[in-house]
Structure 1
Amino acid sequence: MSSSDALAKSFSVSHSGIFGVDEKSMLEILVKWQPEHLSTFRNETSSIFLKDERFPFEKCEEILLKFLKREFKRFKDAVVQWTMHPWERDARMARKALKRGSQAYGLLIELACTRSSDELLGARRAYQSLYSESIEEDVACRVEGIQRQDLGEESGLKDTIYCLCAPPVYFSKILDSAMKANATKNEKEALTRVIVTRTDVDMKDIAEEYNKQYGTPLAKKIEDVALGNYKDFLVTLVQRALAKGSE
């Protein structure tokens, strides 16, 4: 495979349902190229660059620009979430879910069902500090009456029961949905969230349940659907949890 083909593959992962961008491969190729190499690449890669109809230059497809911004962001978000205090992390996730509306309310149920009373209290304190209002006030402001009463139904009664009574089953299902090619934005974000927040809690149990339910080791599945530093980071966290659990 030529360097141009390899770079095009790194850029074009959006069409295959792969998560992340292969940053290492991109950098290894791009730092060696001169302006003429870049010009040749733009001219020869019609799947990424289109010739402008009016002026003599090649322009990047808008959909690819949006994709690259999102995929490069995955690794940064994973690292930030990993280093952030758990209280702040949960508070920020709750805030994002409330701002997104009903399609993200399942995350609120997840937080309520899988955190200890001390962790929930900490998240409430962090929320108050970060946003100068309580999470209860924000829910009352953002969620309409009937939605507020039925918030627990947004993620489905079955999922809520699993979340409460069998977290490994619940998180295995969430991870499977997150790694499908047709996953929604909310579903895809769960891959980072679950790996980062459960590594030091019950990731060994989740990984074992995932293997049981889907017949594939979790780390192997992540390697199949993720790329670059993002992939390496998540796989390392899973392997760390498995190694710790076997001690």
Structure 2
Amino acid sequence: MDPPNDFEALTKAFSGFGVDEDSMVSILGKWHSEHLESFRKRTPKFFLEDERLFERWDDHHIACLTKEFLLFKDIVVQWIMHPWERDVRLVHEAITKGPQAYCGEIIEEFDKQYKVPLTQKIEDVALGNYKDFLVSLIRRVA
């Protein structure tokens, strides 16, 4: 594909939910400086022209892309970890950010996915004080 014809595909790779890294790397890897300049001029959604007629990123889009790339980095790092290490890190993050940040979503998703309330599942499989503690904790944050 001729690089100038990649403008639409590259714009699409930067748009929506997440960044399409495969498309982005494939397209940008074969571009030369004149293709980048042309892309900047032809994509006002991402670039603003200043008083000197220079194209610069729209700050909002920079913030969005930065967030998307951080999410991609986190996904890759979590993917290569041992499952136990990933789970420990996720638990640490949930505790650090506070139970309200994640617990409500987790409880709701568990109920939807397994068609049984999380508290009921814990009551069915956990024992003694451990069961009472977990059930009361879940009821408290739900």
Under TM normalisation by the shorter chain, which class is it? Answer: 0.5 to 0.7
Consecutive unaligned residues in structure 1, runs of 5 or more: 118-148, 157-247
| Percent identity for Structure 1 against Structure 2 | 44
CA distance in 2 between partners of 1:109 and 1:28 (Å): 36
Does the CA contact (< 8 Å) of 1:98 and 1:105 recur in 2? no
Structure with the larger RCO, 1 or 2 (CA within 8 Å, 6+ apart): 1
1:2 aligns to what SS in structure 2? helix
Partner AA of 1:97 in structure 2: A
Select 2:43's aligned residue among 42, 45, 51: 45
CA distance in 1 between partners of 2:64 and 2:74 (Å): 15
Does the CA contact (< 8 Å) of 1:97 and 1:108 recur in 2? no
CA distance in 1 between partners of 2:65 and 2:22 (Å): 15
Does the CA contact (< 8 Å) of 1:105 and 1:151 recur in 2? no
Larger Rg: 2
The yes-or-no answer on 1:3 pairing with 2:6 is yes
CA distance in 2 between partners of 1:91 and 1:85 (Å): 10
1:12 aligns to what SS in structure 2? coil
| Aligned-pair Cα RMSD in Å | 3.4
Alpha-carbon offset, residue 37 of structure 1: 1.4
Alpha-carbon offset, residue 102 of structure 1: 4.8
The yes-or-no answer on 1:72 pairing with 2:75 is no
**Change beyond 3 A, Cα 1:48–1:87:** same
1:171-225, CA deviations, whole angstroms, 9 ceiling, x for partnerless residues? xxxxxxxxxxxxxxxxxxxxxxxxxxxxxxxxxxxxxxxxxxxxxxxxxxxxxxx
Alpha-carbon offset, residue 108 of structure 1: 10
Consecutive unaligned residues in structure 2, runs of 5 or more: 108-117, 127-135
CA distance in 1 between partners of 2:48 and 2:37 (Å): 12
Q: TM-score, normalised by structure 1?
A: 0.39
CA distance in 2 between partners of 1:3 and 1:85 (Å): 38
